[in-house]
Structure 1
Amino acid sequence: MQHPLGVILAGGLATRMGGGDKGLLSLGGETLLGRVIGRLEPQVAALALNANGDSGRFAGLGLPVLADSVAGYAGPLAGVLAGLDWAAAQGAESIVTAAADTPFFPEDLVPRLLLAGEGMAHPLVLAATREGGRLNRHPTFGLWPVALRDDLRAALEGGLRKVVLWTDGHGGRVAEFPTAPFDPFFNVNTPEDLAEAERLAG
């Protein structure tokens, strides 16, 4: 299997942070997005950013900016579809997504997703962690096959929004990640989260 392309999902509305782009918030002298790029770029063949509105605000990043093709902020799956369409145009077979507000995700995210997808005709894998006995899937962190993009488009046009409903329908797997010393998928939704991220980064 080819090395996947990477897509950073930054298409949300950041309402709990008061709107605007969470990814452009500063954390330890670097933007959240800068930290995410620094973690994902070494793991993928090429990188793009899924974001809506004026793409010029990300011009300094030097990345392709992909807008949702499904109207009305349809959630992470719309960003995944935008990434799959971009990857298809590059002749790629798959993408790996990461959220723009999750600065500590694993530096071995991509190899572990690929390992979990071995043997699948169309590898489809979500990252997961375990809390107590409960498995928590992280729907913005996944390996997605270009081969299923038209199926995803049809599902979105039919009103589907819940990531796991779609992945479960295609026999999606999980790659489980450890949560020590802290949950690597901790994401910044509120000013309190940003303060906690500063503590973790320090």
Structure 2
Amino acid sequence: MKPALVILAGGEGSRIGGSKPQRLLGGVSLLDHALSYARKTNAHLAVAAREERQIGTCEAPVVLDDPSIEGPLGGLVAGLRFANAQGADALLTIPADMPFLPDDLADRLGAAIGENRAAIASSAARLHPVCGLWLPEVLALMPKYLASGRRSLNGLAEEAGFIAVEWPSDPVDPFFNINSVSDLKTAEELLAG
């Protein structure tokens, strides 16, 4: 399987004071942490954002979230369109705010997907649908899903048919995400070691 990879960076980041992808962790922006991770996969890469101003200067192609769809679902739609344009057979999504992602994310999700349309990362029995491998046909499910009034990635994964792939959360949850100043401080401590 040769997926494209899209970094979901379109959130407002209101709990951290805005511009979350540009926040610094260890002197490096959260987006640059995500880009460094993504480049190791050798996948076709793009960053999905509501507006380019959210991410500042970026050395990767930017795709804009579907403006008619709120939340990360808009970024997923933009990502699936990007993956289709690249001729990829799947889309791996990661967020800009999870700096400790496991190196085996793409491999394990790809190995597990089987007959499902999505494989979603999980840790501590909690799904992380922003870290998912999505097949292109998920895009065709969007009109019906949106008409239902639902907007969550979890709901879309259920609609698509997914498998959860569990990672250990001890000693550090690899899907720790940064939503607040306190989370950023914790991440600094984890990075320091």
TM-score by length of 1: 0.88
Unaligned 5+ residue runs, structure 1? Answer: none
Detail structure 1 runs of 4+ shifted over 4 Å in the superposition. Answer: 56-59
Aligned to 2:174: 184
**Cα drift, residue 145 of structure 1:** 0.8
For residues 132-191 of structure 1, give each alpha carbon's deviation from its aligned partner in whole angstroms, at most 9, with x where no partner exists. xxx100011100111221212442354221222221122210111111221111111111
Q: Secondary structure at the match of 1:61?
A: coil
The answer to whether residue 162 in structure 2 is matched with residue 166 in structure 1 is no
Aligned to 2:87: 91
Aligned to 2:68: 71
The percent of aligned pairs where both chains have the same amino acid is: 38
2:98 corresponds, among 91, 97, 102, to 102
For residues 20-65 of structure 1, give each alpha carbon's deviation from its aligned partner in whole angstroms, at most 9, with x where no partner exists. x211111112111111111122124211001012x26646322111
RMSD after superposition: 1.7
**Cα drift, residue 70 of structure 1:** 3.8
With over 3 angstroms needed to count, the CA separation of the structure-2 counterparts of 1:189 and 1:100, relative to structure 1, is same
Unaligned 5+ residue runs, structure 2? Answer: none
Q: Distance in 2 between matches of 1:44 and 1:5?
A: 9
For residues 116-139 of structure 1, give each alpha carbon's deviation from its aligned partner in whole angstroms, at most 9, with x where no partner exists. 11x31x541110012xxxx10001
Aligned to 1:9: 8
Aligned to 2:32: 34
1:195 corresponds, among 182, 185, 188, to 185
Q: Secondary structure at the match of 1:43?
A: coil
TM-score by length of 2: 0.92
Residue pairs, 1:80-159, within 5 angstroms: 80-117=76-113, 119-120=114-115, 123-130=117-124, 135-159=125-149
Give the aligned length: 192
Q: Distance in 2 between matches of 1:10 and 1:84?
A: 15
Q: Distance in 1 between matches of 2:42 and 2:106?
A: 8
